[in-house]
């Protein structure tokens, strides 16, 4: 049995925010075999296993290419650099994202332009994107926040009319679809993180870019490996490269977990449906999933006007919760100078979101404990 809940004697009723142990247990035998094989070959960075995972990930996402990199931030940064985005260019980003989305823009030398989002889905909309465009906009980073793809058709139309490239930050949306197409496959490129807590997570840091643009894939392969020109080991290319290679061990972990991703995502979806049916409407609402979107529920996020009381009520009942994200990016110190206007929806969400426990191996008892706690918090509120 995998360790489900750590420690305490009343473990049966305590619900941790996340527990990765059971996922590790599911793939343990395959990873042990992969690790032995890797030690035999003493093949630690890149190589055959990484190439095999790249092909599997591209095929899963429905793209021609996948380029494995060291983490999700590098996936974004190298994609922007590979598309020639840099000083003088503006890149539109939603303000309610994990800070790495914005970091990548600034690290590429470009200027972030913060956009607001839809209050129901917390995602970019054609109108909020259009509001953030200027003559200097080179690209938009569409974030599929909490596992739900944004409306890529409508956003794509606005971007195409403005001559702006669309890049997807799919770091929370492994396997999600928009009208049947996978997150990551709809823009010029899709950027993934395989940080351990993501829906598809490595045993450490890892990331990937998927694309059907072979020229971009070639540039990314060069950038991640010190700018080397493939086949010419001592020549260091046209652009300044970096070290952003994926470890071989991570590729074997990811290949083993990929076979289970759809099942794990389905389990997340069932848990969120149960939360949705149990949530007292007067207490909070859940982030809505738009028609056409199939979310993989990286997070189960509620929106409530009395967050502190709700979190305290959950904690009293042994239910952990999280905040994603309490400070919008345009209000974080290093990025404030790029903030030129109020973003009322992002600012309200930052004060009102709360994330419930969610991981694929939650037991029925754990799920029901969360539902019961929500019900009781609703009664307390009256």
Q: Please tell me whether residue 79 binds ligand PLP under the rule CB under 6 A.
A: no
Candidates 55-63, 167-175, 277-285, 349-357: pick the segment binding ligand PLP (CB under 6 A).
167-175
Q: Which of 250, 338, 237, 218 is nearest to 71 (CA)?
A: 250
Candidates 5-13, 65-73, 148-156, 251-259: pick the segment binding ligand PLP (CB under 6 A).
65-73
User: Which residues does 86 contact at the CB level (< 8 Å), separation at least 6?
Assistant: 80, 108, 109, 110
When the beta carbons of 89 and 205 are compared against ligand PLP, the nearer one is: 205
**DSSP string over 66-118:** EEEES-HHHHHHHHHHHTT--TT-EEEEESSS-THHHHHHHHTT-EEEEE---
When the beta carbons of 26 and 169 are compared against ligand PLP, the nearer one is: 169
Q: Please tell me whether residue 141 binds ligand PLP under the rule CB under 6 A.
A: no
Query: Smallest distance, Å, CB 185 to ligand PLP?
Result: 17
Long-range contacts of 176-179 (CB under 8 A, 24+ apart): 176/144, 176/147, 176/148, 176/149, 176/293, 176/294, 176/295, 176/296, 177/149, 177/293, 177/294, 178/149, 178/150, 178/151, 178/152, 178/153, 178/292, 178/293, 178/294, 179/153, 179/292
Say if residue 122 is exposed, middle or buried (CB neighbours under 10 Å; 0-12, 13-18, 19+): buried
Among 65, 169, 247, 294, binds ligand PLP (CB under 6 A): 169
CA dihedral 280, 276, 148, 249 (to 10 degrees): 120
| Residue ranges with strand state E in 280-367 | 285-286, 293-294, 300-303, 353-356
When the beta carbons of 100 and 356 are compared against ligand PLP, the nearer one is: 100
Candidates 11-19, 165-173, 245-253, 346-354: pick the segment binding ligand PLP (CB under 6 A).
165-173
Coil, strand or helix: which one is 135?
Answer: coil
Coil, strand or helix: which one is 339?
Answer: coil
Query: Smallest distance, Å, CB 247 to ligand PLP?
Result: 13
Q: Which of residues 97-126 bind ligand PLP (CB under 6 A)?
A: 97-98, 100-101
Query: Smallest distance, Å, CB 170 to ligand PLP?
Result: 8
Q: Please tell me whether residue 195 binds ligand PLP under the rule CB under 6 A.
A: yes
Q: Please tell me whether residue 50 binds ligand PLP under the rule CB under 6 A.
A: no
Coil, strand or helix: which one is 209?
Answer: strand
Count of beta carbons in the 10 Å neighbourhood of residue 354: 20
Candidates 67-75, 262-270, 309-317, 373-381: pick the segment binding ligand PLP (CB under 6 A).
67-75
Query: Smallest distance, Å, CB 237 to ligand PLP?
Result: 23
When the beta carbons of 205 and 294 are compared against ligand PLP, the nearer one is: 205
Candidates 3-11, 96-104, 329-337, 359-367: pick the segment binding ligand PLP (CB under 6 A).
96-104
Q: What stretch of H or E contains 166?
A: strand 165-169
Identify whether the C-beta of residue 187 lies closer than 8 Å to the C-beta of residue 142: yes
Q: Which of residues 310-349 bind ligand PLP (CB under 6 A)?
A: none
Q: Please tell me whether residue 172 binds ligand PLP under the rule CB under 6 A.
A: yes
Phi, psi values for residue 300, rounded to 5°: -105, 105
Phi, psi values for residue 366, rounded to 5°: -65, -45
Candidates 58-66, 92-100, 158-166, 220-228: pick the segment binding ligand PLP (CB under 6 A).
92-100
Identify whether the C-beta of residue 39 lies closer than 8 Å to the C-beta of residue 343: no
When the beta carbons of 190 and 207 are compared against ligand PLP, the nearer one is: 207
Among 16, 149, 207, 322, binds ligand PLP (CB under 6 A): 207
Q: Which of 156, 189, 179, 202 is nearest to 79 (CA)?
A: 189
Q: Please tell me whether residue 73 binds ligand PLP under the rule CB under 6 A.
A: yes
Query: Smallest distance, Å, CB 71 to ligand PLP?
Result: 4
When the beta carbons of 152 and 377 are compared against ligand PLP, the nearer one is: 152
Count of residues touching ligand PLP (by CB under 6 A): 15
Q: Select the residue whose beta carbon is closest to ligand PLP and give its number.
A: 72
When the beta carbons of 71 and 366 are compared against ligand PLP, the nearer one is: 71
Q: Please tell me whether residue 72 binds ligand PLP under the rule CB under 6 A.
A: yes
Q: For binding to ligand PLP (CB under 6 A), which residues are involved?
A: 71-73, 97-98, 100-101, 143, 169, 171-172, 193, 195, 205, 207
């Amino acid at each position: 049995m995998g360790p489900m809940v750590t420690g305490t004697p009343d473990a049966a009723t305590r619900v941790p925010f996340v527990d990765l142990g059971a996922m590790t247990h599911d793939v343990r035998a395959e990873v042990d075999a992969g690790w032995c094989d890797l030690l035999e070959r003493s093949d630690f960075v890149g190589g055959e296993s990484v190439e095999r995972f790249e092909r599997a990930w591209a095929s899963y996402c429905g793209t021609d290419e996948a380029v494995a990199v060291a983490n999700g931030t590098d996936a974004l940064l190298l994609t922007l650099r590979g598309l020639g985005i840099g000083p003088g260019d503006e890149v539109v980003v939603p303000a309610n994202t994990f800070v790495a989305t914005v970091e990548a823009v600034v690290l590429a030398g470009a200027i972030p332009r913060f956009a607001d989002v839809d209050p129901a889905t917390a995602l970019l909309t054609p109108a909020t994107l259009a509001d953030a465009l200027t003559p200097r906009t080179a690209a938009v980073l569409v974030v599929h926040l909490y596992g739900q793809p944004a409306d890529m058709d409508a956003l794509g139309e606005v971007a195409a009319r403005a001559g702006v490239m669309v890049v997807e930050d799919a770091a929370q949306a492994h396997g999600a679809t928009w009208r049947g197409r996978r997150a990551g496959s709809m823009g010029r490129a899709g950027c993934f993180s395989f940080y351990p807590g993501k829906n598809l997570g490595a045993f450490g840091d890892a990331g990937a870019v998927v694309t059907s643009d072979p020229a971009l894939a070639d540039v990314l392969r060069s950038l991640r490996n010190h700018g080397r020109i493939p086949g010419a080991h001592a020549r260091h290319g046209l652009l300044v490269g970096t070290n952003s290679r994926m470890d071989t061990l991570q590729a074997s972990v990811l290949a083993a977990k990929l076979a289970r991703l759809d099942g794990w995502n389905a389990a997340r979806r069932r848990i969120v449906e149960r939360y949705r049916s149990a949530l007292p409407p007067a207490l909070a609402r859940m982030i809505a999933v738009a028609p056409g979107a199939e979310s993989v529920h990286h997070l189960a996020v509620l929106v409530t006007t009395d967050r502190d009381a709700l979190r305290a009520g959950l904690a009293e009942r042994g239910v952990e919760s999280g905040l994603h994200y309490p400070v919008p990016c345009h209000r974080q110190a290093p990025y404030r100078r790029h903030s030129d206007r109020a973003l009322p929806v992002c600012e309200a969400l930052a004060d009102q979101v709360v994330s419930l426990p969610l991981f694929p191996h939650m037991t029925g008892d754990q799920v029901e404990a969360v539902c019961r706690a929500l019900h009781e918090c609703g009664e307390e509120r009256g």
